[in-house]
Amino acid sequence: MPHAASPRSSNAPLAALVLQGGGALGAYQAGAYEALALRAQALDWVAGISIGAINAALIAGNPPGRRVERLRAFWERVSLALPLRPQAEWVAPVRGWWDNAMALWGAMVGVPGFFAPRPPLAWWPQPPASWYDTAPLRDTLLELVDFELLNQGPMRFSVGAVDVQSGNFTYFDNRRERIGPEHVMASGALPPGFGAVPIGEHFYWDGGLVSNTPLAYVMDQLPAGAARPVTVFQIDLFRARGRVPQTLADAAEREKDIRFSSRTRLVSDEVRARHQLHARLRRLAALLPKARRASAEVQALLAGTLDAPVTLVHVIHRRKNSETQTKDYEFSHLSMTEHWQAGGADMGAALQLLGRQGAPRPGEFRVLDAHPDAPMPRHPPAVTSKENPS
């Protein structure tokens, strides 16, 4: 049976960790979580898509003292097993070529503990529906995740997937249903690499096909009318902003960044606009006479407009100079280590920024980014002619 939440304290902010999908880049999230754990940041809720769902399960499915250990065990396991693990300076002059070679190697032989190429006989008399078999991932999850704790523990756990037949987006939530390894695998079943995962009478693919971040779900599920502050740590693996591509490889990478970074800024903008609208409605209602303000009609209009103050701490992976469009399936130990370290450093900076902030105002929605991009116009400026109109 689904487990009812046990809040830490009505005074402590509700803390949620929101993890975007991004394949091999997910080691960045593991490093970011380690930085949270080092600062004893308690979490009430973890939600993820794709690789974010796997990291989320490793967190929610282990006691606090073992979470980083289990994350480390997973990422060490899925790093390509090579007889030689070069230092970054050894391959620096050819780093882009090296990373692409590692991605190609993983695509050819599979990634240990994660996926394996289907054998030749699987392609006859007709080809399968996916390139790889993800049975190794199931075994890894069963070994590293305590699903009894994940379902019965105090932390809320949510992962998103897409129903292959209906095309509808859905969330599997331990507050509504019992979670197993198949729910985590469904959230990360990105076609055509990975096959659809059956759950009951339905088949599911990677939630990133519709939305690569569970931020909207978390925002929509926050209790209406609650005054308890909310802190959301949003860890993104793809950056929305970037340079104009100069080569075909650049174009492939930039397209992937835009596609998989989708909705984070859209959702945060929509939530901010909703908070502002609700505040305006309540200020308008306050101008009404007391009797009119207490009427059933006005109270019905004000229902659900008392928003909790929300602080969204945005931590974004920013590409290394050597990275290419293979970065999300390049599972070398060298890149894994660099991603992990970058996530820890960026989360550390984000926590320092958060610590310098005052308490949020009632109903406020604010976004914090320790490494903000320079402001960019949403639309190109209008072109005006320097010549006088004829």
Q: What angle, rounded to 10 degrees, do the helices at 135-144 and 67-77 form? A: 160
The pLDDT assigned to 140 comes to 98
CA 65, CA 274: separation in Å to the nearest integer?
38
The answer to whether 133 and 109 have CB atoms below 8 angstroms apart is no
The DSSP line for 29-80 is HHHHHHHHHHTT---SEEEESTHHHHHHHHHHTS-GGGHHHHHHHHHHHTS-
Task: Write out residues in the chain with pLDDT < 50, as ranges.
Answer: 376, 378, 380-390
* Nearest one of 150, 143, 133 to 77, comparing CA atoms: 143
Q: Which two tokens stand for residue 192?
A: 């055509």
CA 345, CA 333: separation in Å to the nearest integer?
18
CA 390, CA 376: separation in Å to the nearest integer?
34
Task: Give the 3-state secondary structure of residue 161.
Answer: strand
Q: Which two tokens stand for residue 313?
A: 């701490």
The pLDDT assigned to 386 comes to 45
The pLDDT assigned to 387 comes to 44
* Alpha-helical runs (H) found in 233-386: 248-260, 264-286, 290-293, 296-302, 333-355
The pLDDT assigned to 240 comes to 83
CA 7, CA 219: separation in Å to the nearest integer?
17
pLDDT of 57-85, one tens digit each? 999 999 999 999 999 999 999 998 777 77
CA 111, CA 331: separation in Å to the nearest integer?
8
pLDDT of 248-287, one tens digit each? 988 988 988 888 886 777 888 888 888 889 888 988 989 9
The pLDDT assigned to 384 comes to 44
Beta bridge partners of 159: 48, 172
The DSSP line for 307-348 is PPPEEEEEEE----TT--TTGGG---HHHHHHHHHHHHHHHH
Q: Are strands 132-133 and 116-117 parallel, antiparallel or unpaired?
A: antiparallel
The pLDDT assigned to 10 comes to 56
Burial of 290 (0-12, 13-18, 19+ CB in 10 A): exposed
Length of the chain: 390
Burial of 390 (0-12, 13-18, 19+ CB in 10 A): exposed
